[in-house]
């Protein structure tokens, strides 16, 4: 993989710590000689993100609130300045739902927190793709986001996050159509359960891992490195004719009926 992304410049959203899927992806891209900028949200994780970014010689680490269009515009302006007005790829690994909405019944989700989950987990991709387009228009580019099977099937207690992932999946297809005329590709990776700090907040996550290991055709769990390999492919020129696609990295679990 070394050198396969040499000369490529990208932005990674969603690194929170060294166990983040976004960091697994960034590490793999760094091995392939990509240059990356990073965003963070909130001072609590800033130092950790800066330390990780420094380890891969990142030229830019900046804050970005994906619910604020002005802040998104500012962050992408900074990315443009750091990368001479050009962006080759965007990794979108951003999602959020209130903890109380991942327990109990989906039916009880209040309106304000329903829109919060969709805004952060789905619309943020649309907003970031809109901001990235001018930086990718001349030479093309690739956008990858993270989804989950809970957007296609009901996963107990995944609740409103599943609905948000369904909106994200549809957004990938519509963005791929809009941006394709400028040679910008948009794809999603649907990963099986990966042990991250965020995943541990999902009730029943351990059971999800066990079920995948028992029922997936390959009968094993996956890790961040598996997702990173898939992302590196989708972001590379090897996938130049792959767009509007969901790539499943779940040991085949998505294919099973029960």
Question: Any catalytic annotation for residue 123?
Answer: no
Per-residue three-class SS string for 31-85:
HCCCEEEEEECCHHHHHHHHHHHHHCCCCEEEECCCCCHHHHHHHHHHHHHHCCC
SS3 216: coil
Beta-carbon neighbour count of residue 2 at 10 Å?
8
Sign of the torsion angle spanned by Cα atoms 16, 22, 27, 31:
negative
Question: Any catalytic annotation for residue 158?
Answer: yes
Query: 175: closest CA among 127, 235, 140?
Result: 127
Q: State the Cα angle at 80 between 76 and 84, rounded to 5°.
A: 170
- Spot the catalytic one: 158, 174, 233, 248: 158
36 φ, ψ (degrees, to nearest 5): -135, 145
Long-range contacts formed by 23-26: CB under 8 A, 24+ apart: 23/52, 23/224, 24/223, 24/224, 24/225, 24/227, 24/228, 25/91, 25/93, 25/144, 25/224, 25/227, 25/228, 25/231, 25/232, 26/52, 26/56, 26/91
- Spot the catalytic one: 148, 174, 233, 248: 148
Could you list the active site residues?
A: 148, 158
């Amino acid at each position: 993989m070394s050198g396969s992304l040499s000369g490529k410049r990208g932005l990674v959203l969603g690194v929170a710590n060294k166990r983040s899927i976004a960091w697994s992806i960034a590490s793999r891209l760094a091995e392939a000689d990509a240059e990356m900028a990073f965003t963070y949200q909130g001072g609590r994780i800033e130092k950790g993100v800066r330390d990780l970014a420094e380890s891969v010689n990142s030229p830019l680490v900046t804050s970005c609130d994906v619910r604020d269009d002005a802040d998104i515009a500012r962050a992408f302006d900074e990315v443009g300045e750091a990368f001479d007005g050009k962006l080759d790829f965007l990794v979108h690994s951003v999602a959020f739902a209130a903890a109380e909405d991942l327990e109990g019944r989906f039916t009880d989700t209040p309106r304000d927190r329903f829109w919060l989950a969709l805004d952060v987990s789905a619309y943020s991709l649309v907003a970031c793709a809109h901001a990235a387009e001018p930086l990718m228009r001349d030479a093309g580019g690739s956008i990858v986001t993270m989804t989950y099977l809970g957007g296609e099937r009901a996963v107990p207690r995944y609740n409103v996050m599943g609905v948000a992932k369904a909106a994200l999946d549809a957004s990938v297809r519509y963005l791929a159509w809009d941006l394709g005329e400028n040679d910008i590709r948009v794809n999603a990776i649907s990963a099986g359960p990966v042990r991250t700090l965020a995943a541990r907040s999902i009730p029943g996550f351990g059971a999800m891992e066990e079920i995948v290991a028992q029922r997936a055709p390959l009968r094993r769990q996956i890790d961040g490195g598996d997702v990173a390999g898939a992302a590196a492919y989708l972001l590379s020129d090897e996938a130049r004719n792959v767009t509007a696609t969901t790539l499943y990295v779940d040991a085949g679990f998505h294919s099973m009926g029960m």
